[in-house]
């Protein structure tokens, strides 16, 4: 039997290669979040000073919705040709599959954020007043918080009717503390009025708690049929 | 057991009427006037809802743990460890200093013991699938009580605070998130059509329970606008009012118990019927050849 990490890596490279060739999820996400940005620009027409206070919320709302697009595709792909059933009966550890899927989504959503962040800067004339480097840990930890629970709940909603609708209904309530941490942390860094350390610690705690929970319970969800 | 139901129903109705009368005749608050009387509904509903959600969490954990004997044993020892640590830790001076003002070590220790006892009592009286029936029952009734809390809160806040809702307030936000999580729990149960709904729902309940402390932590340093808890929270309350509040809580608990009981029976009956129907459809293809097979199907309780 191959080791845990080699299985994770194999699944991860397979997913990324599939995505690279088709670019289904990425294109949909990019266009979707572009639309959200444009709609926000039309709805609010803020001054540079005001925009610093609201843009933290707008950015993360856009990414949250866009991430749902990618997360919904994660497992749907495996349903074709009964790949998931094959995985279920194979001796490979379930958590390897979960980690690979979560990492794949993490790469995808991070890429989206890297591509979309400049657009926010342009549309809202942003200039960061706080320590800008802290945006990186907030973004990475926040993305992982969304993606780890999102991957888990996407697997859970596979077993429900109207699956694509179920994912946000399950994901958003549980994600509230993470979203709050991301939004408040980003706003604090942009305005430079308060330190954002508390929110980085909060996101880190959230990530540790829910990554552990996901790894502990994923096998139950995968085998539930 | 069944005969106790109408007796309890009459008793609950009597208690609720008494509680209503007492709530109207309790001393008027010096600062707020008559508006404050809503706490006799708000606070008992909140306590009842939290208790029900907690029972739901314990039942869900036990349901998940009961899948394998090894996890069941591990969960048992973890709960025992939590009980022992929770009982001893508050009396250690270093930990004692960390407790919020007005929270006594003895009350924390008692709570830890009650949690452990509740876990084992639930396991003892609700074996197997009953755990899941208990979970769905408490979640549904809990959502109803939580809704009452969320409706009566703003009604009180508008005249007293001048606003309907205080965004960022620690208690308000965590109650709202709790309500949202349990609504999504019920939605999952409604939409899931696999035979493993129970397991998925139990997993979601565990996630929700992990989430609530994080919500509480995430708004830690926002100053709360909500009044301090009147019992064990440093607030003070007139003994006359406290008595009325506790009687109201007793009435609400009885009422919640009554509703849970009948919902529990209903859910069990529903599952029995479902099982019987499934069995019947299994036997159906052999129908013409063996017409007597239908008579053997235990179709509910009607014939007994």
Residue B33, SS3 per DSSP: strand
Total Cβ atoms within 10 A of residue B249: 19
> How far away is chain A from the Cα of B54, in angstroms, using its nearest Cα?
17
Mean pLDDT of the region A68-78 = 86
Q: Which chain A residues contact residue B177 at CB under 8 A?
A: 173, 176-177
| pLDDT, mean over chain B | 82
If we measure between CA atoms, which residue out of B217, B184, B204, B202 comes closest to residue A178?
B217
Dist CA B7 CA B197 (whole Å): 35
At B186, the pLDDT band (50, 70, 90 cuts) reads: very high
Task: Specify if B50 maps to a domain.
Answer: no
Q: Which chain B residues contact residue A197 at CB under 8 A?
A: none
CA distances from A127 to A55, A185, B244 (A): 11, 16, 57
Mean pLDDT of the region B257-264 = 93
B251 contact partners, CB below 8 Å, separation of at least 6: B12, B15, B16, B18, B19, B44
B118 contact partners, CB below 8 Å, separation of at least 6: B54, B55, B58
**Residues A160, B191: C-beta atoms closer than 8 Å:** yes
Q: Max alpha carbon distance in chain B (Å)? A: 81
* Of residues B196, B208, B210, nearest to A209 (C-beta): B210
Q: Which chain B residues contact residue A221 at CB under 8 A?
A: 199-200, 203
* Of residues A170, A205, A209, nearest to B204 (C-beta): A170
Cα-to-chain-centroid distance, residue A69: 10
Look up the domain containing B267 and give its range.
1-22+146-274
Q: What domain count does chain B have?
A: 1
Burial class (CB in 10 A: 0-12, 13-18, 19+), A123: middle
* Cα nearest neighbour of A173 on chain B: B181
pLDDT > 70 in chain B, percent: 84
Cα-based torsion angle of the residue sequence B196, B259, B275, B1 in order, rounded to the nearest 10 degrees: 130
Dist CA A201 CA A90 (whole Å): 38
Task: Specify if B60 maps to a domain.
Answer: no
**Side-chain half-sphere CA neighbours of A161 within 13 A:** 6
Look up the domain containing A216 and give its range.
2-222
Total Cβ atoms within 10 A of residue B106: 10
Dist CA B297 CA B53 (whole Å): 37
Q: What are the φ/ψ torsions at residue B194 (nearest 5 degrees)?
A: -85, 165
Task: Specify if B141 maps to a domain.
Answer: no
B→A interface, C-beta within 8 Å: 64, 67, 177, 180-181, 183-184, 187-188, 191-197, 199-200, 203-204, 206-208, 210-211, 214-215, 217-221
Cα-to-chain-centroid distance, residue B181: 13
Residue A64 near residue A178 (C-beta atoms within 8 A): no
Beta bridge partners of B29: B33
Dist CA B230 CA B141 (whole Å): 25
Higher pLDDT: B223 or B278? It is B278
Dist CA B264 CA B136 (whole Å): 8
Task: Specify if B298 maps to a domain.
Answer: no
**Side-chain half-sphere CA neighbours of B304 within 13 A:** 6
At B31, the pLDDT band (50, 70, 90 cuts) reads: confident
Handedness of CA B136, B142, B148, B151 (dihedral sign): negative
| pLDDT, mean over chain A | 87
Residue with tokens 């709960």: B79
Q: What tens digit of pLDDT does each residue of B277-287 get?
A: 989 988 876 55
B261 contact partners, CB below 8 Å, separation of at least 6: B5, B8
Residue A102 near residue A154 (C-beta atoms within 8 A): no
* pLDDT at position B227: 66
Residue A140 near residue A21 (C-beta atoms within 8 A): no
pLDDT > 90 in chain B, percent: 29
Q: How many CB pairs under 8 A join A and B?
A: 90
**What ipTM score was computed for the predicted complex, to two decimals?**
0.86
**Residues B177, A213: C-beta atoms closer than 8 Å:** no
Q: With an 8 Å Cβ cutoff, is A212 touching chain B?
A: no
Residue with tokens 């790469």: A107
Q: With an 8 Å Cβ cutoff, is A217 touching chain B?
A: yes
CA distances from B139 to A156, B127, B130, B157, B186 (A): 19, 18, 14, 27, 8
Residue B243 near residue B193 (C-beta atoms within 8 A): no
Q: What domain count does chain A have?
A: 1
Q: Which chain B residues contact residue A181 at CB under 8 A?
A: 218
Q: What tens digit of pLDDT does each residue of B115-158 get?
A: 899 999 988 888 888 899 999 999 999 999 999 999 998 888 88
Burial class (CB in 10 A: 0-12, 13-18, 19+), B173: buried
Q: With an 8 Å Cβ cutoff, is A202 touching chain B?
A: yes
Q: Which of the residues A175, A176, A195 would you substitute to probe the B interface, choosing the one with the greatest number of B C-beta atoms within 10 Å?
A: A176
* pLDDT at position B294: 47
Task: Specify if B98 maps to a domain.
Answer: no
Q: Which pTM value belongs to this model?
A: 0.85
- Asked whether the predicted pLDDT for residue A63 surpasses 50, the reply is yes
* pLDDT at position B228: 58
* pLDDT at position B229: 58
Q: DSSP of B101-149, one letter per residue?
A: TT--HHHHHHHHHHHHHHHHHHHHHS-THHHHHHHHHHHHHHHHHHHHH
Task: Specify if B79 maps to a domain.
Answer: no
**Residues B193, A162: C-beta atoms closer than 8 Å:** no
**Residues A160, B196: C-beta atoms closer than 8 Å:** no
Q: Which of the residues A153, A177, A178, A179 would you substitute to probe the B interface, choosing the one with the greatest number of B C-beta atoms within 10 Å?
A: A177
Q: What tens digit of pLDDT does each residue of A205-223 get?
A: 999 999 999 999 998 888 8
Task: Specify if B263 maps to a domain.
Answer: yes
């Amino acid at each position: 039997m191959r080791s845990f990490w080699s299985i994770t890596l194999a699944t991860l490279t397979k997913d990324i290669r599939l995505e690279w060739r088709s670019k289904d999820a990425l294109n949909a996400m990019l266009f979707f979040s572009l639309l959200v940005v444009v709609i926000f620009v039309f709805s609010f027409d803020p001054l540079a000073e005001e925009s610093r206070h609201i843009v933290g919320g707008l950015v993360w709302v856009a990414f949250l919705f866009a991430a749902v697009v990618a997360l919904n595709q994660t497992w749907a792909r495996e349903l074709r040709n009964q790949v998931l059933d094959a995985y279920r009966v194979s001796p490979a550890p379930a958590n390897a599959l979960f980690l690979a899927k979560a990492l794949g989504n993490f790469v995808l959503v991070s890429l989206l954020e890297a591509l979309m962040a400049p657009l926010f800067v342009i549309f809202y004339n942003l200039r960061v007043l706080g320590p800008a480097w802290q945006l990186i840990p907030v973004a990475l930890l926040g993305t992982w918080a969304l993606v780890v629970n999102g991957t888990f709940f996407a697997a859970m909603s596979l077993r429900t009717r109207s699956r694509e609708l179920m994912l946000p209904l399950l994901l958003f309530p549980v994600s509230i503390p993470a979203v709050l941490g991301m939004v408040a942390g980003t706003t604090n860094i942009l305005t430079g009025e308060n330190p954002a350390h508390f929110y980085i610690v909060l996101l880190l705690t959230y990530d540790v708690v829910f990554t552990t929970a996901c790894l502990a319970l994923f096998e139950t969800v995968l085998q539930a049929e | 057991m069944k005969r106790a139901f109408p007796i309890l129903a009459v008793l609950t109705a009597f208690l609720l009427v008494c509680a209503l009368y007492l709530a109207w005749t309790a001393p008027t608050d010096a600062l707020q006037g008559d508006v404050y009387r809503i706490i006799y509904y708000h606070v008992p509903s909140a306590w009842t809802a939290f208790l029900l959600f907690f029972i739901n969490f314990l039942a869900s954990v036990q349901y998940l743990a009961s899948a394998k004997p090894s996890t069941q044993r591990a969960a048992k020892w973890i709960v025992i460890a939590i009980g022992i640590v929770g009982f001893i830790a508050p009396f250690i001076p270093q930990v004692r200093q960390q407790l919020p003002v007005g929270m006594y070590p003895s009350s924390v220790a008692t709570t830890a013991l009650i949690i452990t006892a509740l876990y084992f009592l639930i396991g003892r009286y609700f074996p197997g699938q009953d755990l899941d029936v208990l979970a769905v029952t408490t979640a549904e009734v809990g959502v109803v009580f939580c809704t009452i809390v969320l409706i009566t809160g703003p009604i009180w806040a508008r005249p007293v605070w001048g606003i309907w809702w205080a965004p960022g307030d620690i208690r308000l936000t965590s109650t709202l998130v709790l309500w949202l999580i349990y609504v999504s729990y019920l939605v999952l149960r409604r939409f899931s059509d696999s035979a493993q709904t129970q397991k998925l729902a139990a997993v979601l309940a565990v996630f929700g329970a992990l989430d609530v402390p994080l919500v509480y932590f995430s708004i830690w340093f926002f100053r709360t606008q909500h009044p301090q808890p009147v019992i064990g929270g440093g607030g003070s309350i007139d003994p006359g009012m406290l008595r009325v509040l506790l009687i109201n809580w007793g009435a609400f608990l009885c009422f919640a118990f009554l509703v849970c009981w009948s919902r529990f029976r209903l859910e069990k009956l529903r599952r029995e019927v479902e099982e019987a129907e499934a069995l019947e459809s299994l036997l159906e293809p052999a129908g013409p050849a063996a017409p007597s097979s239908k008579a053997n199907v235990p179709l509910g309780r009607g014939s007994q």
